[in-house]
């Protein structure tokens, strides 16, 4: 309790008034007449008796009235804790990343979080979040303990990779909208691999206090895991010695040298087992060949036999789809014999796919049905038979992919089939001014290279002599020439893709077919256009799968279907008709039916960084929590903030009550007051 | 009828005559139910003749039948003189009540008594009545008479009798003796705040002259049993002297002194052959009237 205006306490001097009225004033009484003093004698009141207060209740009320008035003007207040309004927000973050499945980490973290929640003052607001690859908010800032507890108990261990950078970003964003300080309690195994490359990404806002509750105590347990698996997503010939093989890397984190049995499991059956010596805290590779799989989708798994501290990461799943070689339609100009030659050679040299190229002149395409081909290449064709062009448009709208390579014929006529636009200009780089492919988007699937390396992944060594200038419009430019001219464009048409190469494939308008990057480019391009890599293989948890080509489908709307590893359908019916992409959040095999009607089975594996259970060093943890340099000291409690609640009205109400009581009592006294002799 | 004798009720009557009539009529109506008292000229008794008796009182009819001389005596056959001595000192102003409630002032109560006595004496008994108003000297005097208008004069004198000064029995009593030529009933109405010895000494000459002397001691009830909640300053109405008194004294010593004073006054007056009657101002007036009638009867 405080007094905002203590000077008003000077008003307490007014307390002397009732004292004077009730005590002193009694002495100055009016002399009472008597008939005679004959029987009277002089007497003096004793001091004690003399000063005895009269009308005590009235005196008490009057004193109380003055006291309350003085208190009211002194403006007292009580300091009410502001935790219930704009006070500290208790933020409980529970890490449910894949590594929390190790041992009893998740159970302990959850128990500690529940304990903290139970100890929370009832009025304090709290918010529960779970930390995976992103920060998921489970409750709003509320004080309802039951709801908070329910939200906390609903958190289950996931398969995502924790990302402290995402945590820092989300808290910083939250602090901009959330007024007041934040007490952030993170219950995690504090995995080192969850740290971003830049520590600054983890930094929390100034008014956030981070308290780390690490459940990874003691020595980091040794853990072996299947770090990576290279296997064909599509296999046409199991006896192909180059392609029918599985290459797995087994890694140990904090492990001694050990011999581990590695098994290859296809459709639930162990088909091969090999023993490898894994060096201490190192890696070992193991190959399984040939890969005898049946037609259709084969759910495969590379597994490390023998338990360790983290059994959940001992297997890596992937899917191999066995099918006959897929046919590719290559439409070229009548006099162009080079482009199908170069393209076919590159296609057959590709490591992943197995395709049969059917090249045909543009004039002979009238009766062809492109739906029988996995994708179509239009090379240097300025004109197509109208029936085939119409068929191609329907083919693309239903999900068919087409590569359009320009060439001298197109340059001459200026018309680009299917694309919806024409050549606006011809760039002639002949001679010493040959352009190069200077800007390449390696994230584009057809140009994907994990490590482009020297000379821009080989693209810088190519020379382009002629290139057509087109207006990109809504198309994505995946590569540009050195003068900025778009070299490779991608445009969505219905469910299908149209890829436009503004130069040719025939070694006349550029020397790309002569460079090794051409093989890689065609290989990736074929896989992208055929969509085979979307139909099988493996991917990481939290990656996205594009279910349909565009949000506004052309023609009849078809539903997509997703069946998760537990056999559930995570998409509702309305979502199945509208959703464009889906995030694979669980480890295991997902069955997917795309909007173009093609089925896929994909093996989803957790991020293998989660297998490294080593926690962040103590110093870094302290640095992060802002407690560096105060080793051994507990995190100081933030000074409690109080909101002054004014008591003026309450005191004045009491004063009013005292005044009323005084009036009633005083009227009673006055009504009976009379001379006392 | 008793309520008409209540002083508090009488205080609301402004006319003394009406007040006196109310009191006396009520009082007489009560007497009719009493077999002990009568005041008409009726036969009282026979007494044997003794030498020296007036022969006019001999019942000759009885002498003729019995040849014995008896005197026939009647009650009320003689008129009395009533003289009221009214103390009009300042102490008679005291009252413990308010103007509209409680007992009247002692002076008013004394007026009521005097007026009632005058009415009873003149209208009912056909006695001569007079009034002397005094304090430390004689302020007013109405000689006893039975003449027409005497009652009005007495009432007017009572109306004009306003208290002054202080009481002194010695000085005015010398004048009383000069004023009272005939024997009669002398009623002194006062609060008698004086030494009983002095009072009796002052009244004794009246008694010696053959008068029946009655002292009507008028006091307020608070004067006998005062209540004081705290120490207070009291002022004498006559001398205006102030002293501080305490409740303990008032509760104990004062009452003892007051009781002793009344008792001493009562015993001294009776010892001197006088009657004494203590009248509290909250009591009905019939006590005073009854005392008068009994004296008058005894006087016959």
A39:B261 CB<8 A: yes
pLDDT at site B32: 41
Beta bridge partners of B189: B86, B216
**What confidence score (pLDDT) does residue B16 get?**
60
Decide if B83 contacts B109 (C-beta within 8 A).
no
**Partner-chain contact B232 A677, CB within 8 Å:** yes
Q: Is B293 within a domain?
A: yes
Query: A676: pLDDT confidence band, cut at 50, 70 and 90?
Result: very low
Closest chain B residue to A676, measured at CA: B228
Condensed to tens digits (0 to 9), the pLDDT of residues A84-119 reads: 444 678 889 999 999 888 888 899 999 999 999 888
Predicted local distance difference test score (pLDDT) of residue A150: 92
Is residue B4's pLDDT more than 60? Answer: no
For chain A, say whether B101 makes contact (Cβ under 8 Å): no
Q: How many Cα neighbours within 13 Å face the side chain of A332?
A: 21
A62 close to A621: Cβ distance less than 8 angstroms: no
pLDDT bucket at B300, cuts 50 / 70 / 90: very low
Q: Which two tokens stand for residue B256?
A: 């003892």
- In this structure, of A157-171, A613-627, B37-51, B189-203, the range with the lowest mean pLDDT score is B37-51
Token pair 């006099």 in the structure block, residue: A335
* Interface residue of B99, B191, B234 to substitute, partner A, most A CBs within 10 Å: B234
Chain A's closest residue to B244, CA to CA, is A42
Torsion over CA of B131, B132, B135 and B138, rounded to 10 degrees?
150
Number of domains in chain B: 2
pLDDT, tens digit, for every residue of B10-54?
555 555 666 666 666 666 555 443 333 334 455 667 888 888 888
Which chain A residues touch B if contact means CB-CB below 8 Å?
A: 26, 29, 31-45, 49-50, 54, 674, 676-677
Identify whether B185 is part of a domain: yes
Same fold for the pair A88-220+615-624 and A225-322: no
Distance CA A90, CA A149 (A): 13
Residue A50 has pLDDT above 70, yes or no: no
Q: Average pLDDT, whole number, for chain A?
A: 83
**For residue range A168-218, what is the model confidence (pLDDT) as tens digits?**
888 888 877 777 788 889 999 888 888 888 888 888 888 888 888 988 877
Q: Angle B24-B26-B31 (CA atoms, 0-180°, nearest 5)? A: 90
Closest residue of chain A to B231, computed from CA coordinates: A45
Structure tokens at B251: 């509760």
Per CATH, the homologous superfamily of domain A225-322 is Immunoglobulins (2.60.40.10)
Q: A40–B193: do the CB atoms touch at under 8 Å?
A: no
The pLDDT, as a whole number, for residue A331 is 92
**Residues of chain B contacting residue A676, judged by C-beta atoms under 8 Å apart:** 227-230, 232
Predicted confidence at residue A330, as pLDDT, reads 93
Q: Going by DSSP bridges, is the β-strand pair A246-253/A283-288 parallel, antiparallel, or unpaired?
A: antiparallel
Residue A190, burial from CB neighbour count under 10 angstroms (0-12, 13-18, 19+): buried
pTM over 0.80: no
Whether B249 sits inside 8 A of A43 (CB atoms) is: yes
Higher confidence at residue B176 or residue A399?
A399
Q: B234 vs A36: CB contact, 8 Å cut-off?
A: no
Confidence band, pLDDT 50/70/90 cuts, at residue A520: confident
- List the domain range (segments joined by +) for residue B68: 43-74
Task: Give A29's contacts in chain B (Cβ within 8 Å).
Answer: 232-233
Are B94 and A35 inside 8 Å of each other by CB? yes
Q: Which residues of A touch B106 (CB under 8 A)?
A: 35
Residues B154 and B178 in one domain: yes
Q: Is residue B92 part of a domain?
A: yes
Per residue in B197-217, pLDDT (tens digit) is 888 888 888 888 777 888 888
Q: Output the DSSP codes for B262-278.
A: HHHHHHHHHHTT-EEEE
Residues of A in contact with B220 (CB under 8 A): 35
Residue B38 lies in a domain: no
Tokens of A173: 């964003």
Residue that finishes a domain, picked among B23, B58, B74: B74
Predicted pLDDT of residue A555: 57
Q: How confident is the model at residue A413 (pLDDT cuts 50, 70, 90)?
A: confident
Tokens of B263: 């008792």
pLDDT over threshold 90, residue A82: no
B175 and B61, same structural domain?
no
Note whether B66 and B84 are same-domain residues. no
Cα dist. A79→A56, A83, A644, A652 in Å?
35, 12, 5, 19
Mean pLDDT of B89-98: 83
Residue B35, judged by CB atoms within 10 A of its CB (0-12, 13-18, 19+), counts as exposed
10 Å CB burial of residue B185 (0-12, 13-18, 19+) is: buried
DSSP code per residue over B54-71:
-GGGB-HHHHHHHS--EE
Q: Chain B contacts of A47, Cβ < 8 Å?
A: none
Q: Measure A16 CA to nearest chain B CA, in Å.
A: 22
- The answer to whether residue B132 is domain-embedded is yes
Among the ranges given (A4-18, A173-187, A412-426, A628-642), the one the predictor scored with the smallest mean pLDDT: A628-642
Write down the domain spans for chain A.
2-78, 88-220+615-624, 225-322, 332-342+361-533, 536-604
Residue A258, H or E segment: strand A258-266
Please write the tens of the pLDDT for every residue from A296-331: 899 999 999 877 878 888 899 999 988 888 889 999
What's the token pair of residue A208? 């956030």
Question: Best mutation site among A36, A674, A676 for testing chain B: the one with the most B CBs within 10 Å?
Answer: A36
Q: Which of B227, B229, B244 sits opposite A44 (nearest CB)?
A: B244
Residues of A in contact with B105 (CB under 8 A): none
Which span out of A215-224, A371-380, A408-417, B268-277 was modeled with the highest average pLDDT? A371-380
Strands (E), A40-88: 76-81
Q: Is residue B22 part of a domain?
A: yes
How much of chain A, in percent, has pLDDT values that exceed 90? Answer: 18
Same domain, B153 and B59: no
Based on the fold, state whether residues B106 and B48 are members of the same structural domain: no
**Minimum-distance CB partner of B245 among A33, A36, A43:** A43
Q: Check residue A317 and give its pLDDT.
A: 93
Which of B231, B234, B261 is closest, CB to CB, to A34?
Answer: B234
Spatial distance between the Cα atoms of B96 and A33, rounded to a whole number of angstroms? 10
| pLDDT at site A403 | 92
ipTM: 0.72
What pLDDT does B19 receive? 63
Ramachandran bin of A2, using left for φ above 0, alpha for ψ from -120 to 50, beta for the remaining angles = beta
The answer to whether A613 touches A95, Cβ cutoff 8 Å, is no
Quote the tokens at residue A75. 């403006």
Q: Residue A514 — φ and ψ, nearest 5°? A: -90, -5
Indicate the angle between helix axes B255-271 and B196-208, nearest 10 degrees.
20
Rounded CA separation A308/A289 (Å): 27
Length of chain B, in residues: 300
| Among B284, B259, B282, B287, CA closest to B106 | B282
Q: What is the pLDDT of residues A244-289, one digit of tens each?
A: 889 999 998 888 888 889 999 999 899 999 999 999 989 999 999 8
Question: Which stretch of A68-72, A260-264, B98-102, B107-111 has the lowest confidence by average pLDDT?
Answer: B98-102
Is it the case that residue A27 has pLDDT exceeding 80? no
Per the model's pLDDT, the better-predicted residue between A111 and A15 turns out to be A111
- Quote the CA–CA distance of B105 and A595 in Å, as a whole number: 121
Q: Per the CB < 8 Å rule, is A39 touching B257?
A: yes
Examine the domain organization and report whether B200 and B51 are in the same domain: no
Region A346-367: what's the mean pLDDT?
Answer: 83
B-chain residue closest to A54, CA distance: B230
Q: CATH assignment of A88-220+615-624?
A: 3.40.50.410
What is the structure's pLDDT at A380? Answer: 87
Could you tell me which CATH number the domain at A332-342+361-533 has?
A: 3.40.50.880
Nearest to residue B24, comparing CAs of B116, B150, B129? B116
Cβ distance A139 to A130 under 8 Å? no
Question: Residue B172's domain is classified under what CATH number?
Answer: 3.40.50.410
Asked if residue B34 lies in contact with residue B127, where contact means CB atoms within 8 angstroms, the answer is no
What pLDDT digit, counting tens, does each position of A477-507 carry? 999 998 889 999 998 888 888 999 999 988 8
Angstrom distance (rounded) from CA B188 to CA B203: 9
**Would you state the structure tokens that stand for residue B83, as one six-digit string?**
């003289």
Q: B151 and B61: one domain?
A: no
Tell the residue number behind the tokens 């006088």, with chain if given.
Answer: B274
Contacts of B238 in chain A (CB under 8 A): 35-36
Between residues A63 and A54, which one has the greater pLDDT?
A: A63
Out of A33, A39, A44, name the one closest to residue B258 (CB).
Answer: A39
Single out the residue of A281, A322, A282, A276 nearest to residue A299, CA to CA: A322
- Tokens representing B228 are 């004081």
pLDDT score of B177 more than 80: no
Residue A2 in contact with residue A77, Cβ under 8 Å? yes
């Amino acid at each position: 309790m405080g007094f905002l205006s203590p000077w008003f306490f000077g008003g307490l001097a007014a307390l002397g008034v009732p004292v004077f009225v009730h005590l002193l004033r009694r002495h100055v009484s009016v002399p009472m007449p008597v008939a005679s003093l004959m029987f009277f004698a002089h007497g003096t009141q004793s001091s004690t008796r003399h000063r005895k207060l009269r009308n005590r209740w009235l005196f008490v009320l009057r004193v109380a009235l003055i006291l309350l008035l003085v208190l009211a003007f002194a403006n007292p207040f009580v300091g009410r804790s502001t935790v219930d309004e704009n006070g500290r927000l208790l933020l409980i973050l529970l890490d449910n990343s894949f590594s929390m499945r190790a041992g009893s980490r998740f159970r302990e973290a959850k128990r500690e979080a529940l304990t903290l929640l139970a100890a929370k003052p009832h009025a304090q607001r709290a918010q529960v979040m779970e930390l995976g690859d992103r920060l998921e908010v489970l409750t709003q800032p509320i004080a309802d303990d039951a709801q908070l507890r329910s939200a906390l108990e609903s958190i289950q261990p996931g398969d995502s990779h924790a990302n402290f950078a995402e945590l820092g970003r989300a808290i910083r964003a939250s602090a901009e909208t959330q007024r007041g300080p934040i007490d952030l309690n993170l219950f995690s195994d504090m995995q080192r691999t969850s740290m971003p490359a830049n520590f600054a990404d983890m930094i929390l806002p100034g008014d956030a206090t981070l308290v780390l509750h690490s459940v990874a105590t003691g020595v980091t347990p040794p853990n072996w895991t299947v770090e990576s698996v290279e296997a064909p997503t599509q296999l046409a010939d199991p006896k192909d010695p180059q392609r029918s093989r599985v290459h797995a890397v087994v890694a140990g984190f904090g492990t001694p040298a050990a011999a581990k049995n590695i098994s290859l499991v296809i459709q639930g059956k162990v088909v091969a087992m090999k023993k490898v010596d894994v060096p201490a805290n190192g890696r070992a590779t193991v190959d399984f060949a040939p890969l005898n799989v049946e037609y259709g989708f084969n759910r495969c798994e590379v597994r490390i036999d023998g338990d360790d501290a983290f059994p959940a990461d001992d297997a890596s799943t992937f899917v191999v789809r066995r099918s006959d070689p897929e046919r590719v339609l290559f439409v070229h100009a009548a006099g162009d014999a080079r482009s199908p030659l170069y393209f076919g050679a590159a296609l057959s040299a590709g490591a992943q796919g197995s395709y049969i190229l059917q090249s045909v002149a543009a004039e002979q395409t009238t009766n062809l049905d492109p739906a029988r081909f996995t994708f179509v290449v239009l090379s240097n064709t300025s004109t197509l038979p109208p029936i085939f062009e119409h068929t191609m448009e329907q083919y693309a709208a239903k999900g068919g992919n087409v590569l359009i390579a320009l060439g001298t014929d197109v340059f001459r006529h200026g018309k680009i089939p299917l694309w919806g636009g024409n050549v606006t200009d011809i760039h002639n780089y002949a001679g010493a001014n040959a352009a190069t492919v200077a800007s390449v988007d390696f994230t584009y699937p057809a140009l994907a290279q994990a490590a482009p390396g020297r000379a821009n992944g080989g693209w810088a060594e190519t020379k382009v002599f002629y290139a057509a200038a087109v207006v990109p419009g809504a198309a994505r430019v995946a590569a540009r020439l050195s003068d900025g001219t778009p070299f490779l464009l991608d445009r969505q048409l219905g469910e299908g893709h149209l890829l436009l190469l503004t130069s040719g494939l025939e070694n006349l308008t550029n020397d790309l077919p002569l460079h090794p990057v051409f093989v890689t480019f065609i290989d990736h391009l074929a896989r992208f256009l055929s969509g085979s890599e979307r139909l099988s293989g493996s991917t990481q948890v939290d990656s996205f799968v594009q279910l349909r080509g565009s949000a506004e489908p052309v023609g009849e709307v078809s539903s997509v279907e997703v069946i998760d590893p537990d056999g559930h359908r995570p998409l509702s019916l309305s979502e199945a008709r509208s959703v464009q992409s889906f995030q694979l959040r669980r480890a295991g095999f997902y069955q997917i039916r795309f909007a173009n009607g093609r089925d896929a089975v994909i093996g989803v594996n957790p991020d293998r960084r989660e297998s490294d259970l080593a926690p962040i060093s103590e110093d870094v943890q302290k640095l992060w929590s802002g407690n560096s340099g105060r080793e051994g000291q507990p995190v100081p409690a933030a000074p409690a903030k109080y909101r002054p609640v004014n008591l003026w009205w309450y005191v004045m109400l009491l004063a009013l009550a005292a005044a009323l009581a005084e009036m009633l009592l005083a009227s009673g006294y006055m009504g009976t007051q009379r001379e006392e002799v | 009828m008793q309520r008409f004798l209540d002083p508090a009720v009488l205080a609301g009557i402004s006319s003394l005559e009406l007040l006196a009539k109310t009191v006396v009529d009520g009082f007489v109506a009560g007497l009719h139910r009493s077999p002990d008292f009568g005041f008409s000229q009726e036969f009282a008794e026979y007494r044997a003749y003794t030498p020296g008796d007036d022969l006019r009182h001999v019942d000759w009819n009885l002498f003729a039948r019995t040849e014995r001389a008896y005197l026939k005596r009647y009650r009320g056959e003689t008129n009395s003189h009533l003289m009221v001595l009214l103390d009009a000192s300042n102490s008679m102003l005291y009252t413990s009540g308010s103007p509209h409630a409680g007992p009247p002032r002692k002076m008013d109560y004394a007026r009521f008594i005097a007026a009632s006595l005058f009415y009873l004496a003149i209208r009912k008994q056909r006695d001569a009545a007079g009034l002397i108003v005094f304090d430390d000297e004689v302020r007013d005097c109405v000689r006893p008479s039975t003449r027409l208008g005497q009652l009005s004069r007495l009432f007017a004198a009572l109306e004009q009798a306003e208290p002054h000064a202080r009481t002194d029995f010695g000085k005015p009593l010398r004048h009383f003796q000069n004023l009272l030529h005939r024997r009669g009933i002398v009623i002194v109405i006062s609060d008698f705040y004086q030494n009983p010895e002095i009072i009796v000494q002052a009244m004794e000459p009246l008694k010696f002259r053959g008068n029946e002397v009655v002292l009507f001691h008028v006091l307020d009830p608070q004067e006998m049993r005062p209540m004081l909640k705290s120490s207070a300053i009291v002022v004498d109405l006559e001398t205006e002297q102030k002293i501080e008194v305490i409740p303990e004294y008032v509760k104990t010593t004062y009452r003892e002194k007051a009781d002793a004073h009344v008792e001493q006054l009562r015993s001294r007056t009776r010892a001197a052959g006088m009657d004494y009657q203590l009248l509290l101002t909250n009591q009905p007036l019939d006590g005073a009237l009854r005392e008068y009638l009994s004296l008058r009867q005894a006087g016959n």
